[in-house]
Amino acid sequence: MSATSERKKRQSIIDACRSMNVLGINQGTSGNISLRHDTGLLITPTSVPYETMQPEQIVFMGLDGSFDAAQRPSSEWRFHLDILKARPEVNAVVHAHPPYSTILAIMGLEIPPIHYMIAVAGGDTIRCAPYATFGTQELSEHAVRALEDRMACLLEHHGMIAVGPSLSKAMWLAVEVEALARQYHGCLQIGTPRLLPKAEIKNVLGKIAGYGPAGK
Ligand code: 13P
């Protein structure tokens, strides 16, 4: 892979980070993004504000978790790495603490089938992975499990993960998940929302496959 295309990938990660701020799905420096690259992945550095983040600060990590000792990958590199290892169809992982997703995660709630768009995350629910300390292998294992047959999950007392075959698709899904979380939160203010039947979500899953932005 050429140095130019690697540089473009690094810049696309920074651009996605900055757009998380514009979209209101990021809080401070708590989001992180990875993109499959060559024999490993490229991942955001830990605790660097997106406004000042430079392409050379993005960390290349091997699939064995190795990285240049002079660099500091996101504290959440374990789940980024484990998701990319477990899911060959996934090329991008987006993690953030979006307000409504995090409210539901604090309450330990999964998102049920309140709206047909839940199908864009791959099933009739968006699961909430049990709590484990940030950056740990335990959290990584919970996340991989909650993502089984899914493209997004919540993390209890923590935030949200959205994955995709491309960075643009993972970012798009992160926005959709936050919208669903906001809708569910709103419904809970009024009462107990009615849910779509499993059979209807199955029907929608068939129709919605491939929906969302194309591109890298
Ligand atoms: P970073 O280490 O990527 O800055 O993330 C911190 C965090 O809040 C992870 O959940």
Q: Which CATH number belongs to the domain containing residue 118 in this structure?
A: 3.40.225.10
pLDDT, mean of residues 115-120? 97
Active-site positions read: 76
Ligand 1 neighbours (beta carbon < 6 A) = 29-30, 32, 44, 46-47, 74-76, 134
pLDDT score for 213:
83
Residue 124 · residue 113 · CB < 8 Å:
yes
Query: 1: pLDDT confidence band, cut at 50, 70 and 90?
Result: low
Residue 47 falls within a domain, yes or no?
A: yes
Residue 213 falls within a domain, yes or no?
A: no
For residue 128, the SS3 value is: strand
Position in ligand 1 atom list of the atom nearest CA 47: 4
Q: Which of 132, 188, 120 is nearest to 159 (CA)?
A: 132
Ligand 1 pocket: which of 14, 30, 101, 153 to mutate (most atoms within 8 A of CB): 30
Q: How far apart are CA 112 and CA 100, in angstroms?
A: 14
Residue 42 · residue 9 · CB < 8 Å:
yes
Gap from CA of 100 to ligand 1 centroid (Å):
18
∠ CA(70), CA(72), CA(74), 5° rounding? Answer: 165
- CA count, 13 A, side-chain hemisphere, 197: 3
Position in ligand 1 atom list of the atom nearest CA 44: 3
Q: How far apart are CA 39 and CA 153, in angstroms?
A: 26
How confident is the prediction for the chain on average, in pLDDT?
96
Ligand 1 pocket: which of 13, 50, 76 to mutate (most atoms within 8 A of CB): 76
Residue 146 falls within a domain, yes or no?
A: yes
Residue 12 falls within a domain, yes or no?
A: yes
Residue 215 falls within a domain, yes or no?
A: no
Q: What is the pLDDT of residues 23-66, one digit of tens each?
A: 999 988 999 999 999 999 999 999 999 999 999 999 999 999 99
Q: What is the pLDDT of residues 151-174, one digit of tens each?
A: 999 999 999 999 999 999 999 999
Q: What is the pLDDT of residues 91-103, one digit of tens each?
A: 999 999 999 999 9
Residue-number span of the structural domain to which 142 is assigned: 3-207
pLDDT score for 216:
59
Residue 165 falls within a domain, yes or no?
A: yes
Gap from CA of 210 to ligand 1 centroid (Å):
30
Q: What is the pLDDT of residues 58-68, one digit of tens each?
A: 999 999 999 99
Position in ligand 1 atom list of the atom nearest CA 75: 2
Q: Letter for the amino acid at 167? A: L
Tally of domains within the chain: 1
pLDDT score for 55:
97
pLDDT score for 15:
97
Please tell me the residue having the least CA distance from ligand 1 atom 8. Answer: 30
Sheet holding 59-62, edge to edge: 59-62, 40-43, 32-37, 92-96, 159-164, 152-155, 128-129
Residue 215 clears pLDDT 70, i.e. is over it: no
pLDDT, mean of residues 5-15? 96
pLDDT score for 210:
79
* pTM > 0.85: yes
The CA–CA distances, whole Å, from 104 to 112, 177, 179, 187, 209 equal 11, 11, 12, 12, 26
Q: What is the pLDDT of residues 169-190, one digit of tens each?
A: 999 999 999 999 999 999 999 9
Residues 6+ apart with CB under 8 A from 102: 158, 159, 160
Q: Which of 171, 152, 145, 196 is nearest to 23 (CA)?
A: 171
Residue 158 falls within a domain, yes or no?
A: yes
Radius of gyration of the chain measured on its C-alpha atoms? 17
The bridge status of strand 128-129 relative to strand 152-155 is: parallel
Residue 216 falls within a domain, yes or no?
A: no
Gap from CA of 48 to ligand 1 centroid (Å):
9
Gap from CA of 173 to ligand 1 centroid (Å):
20
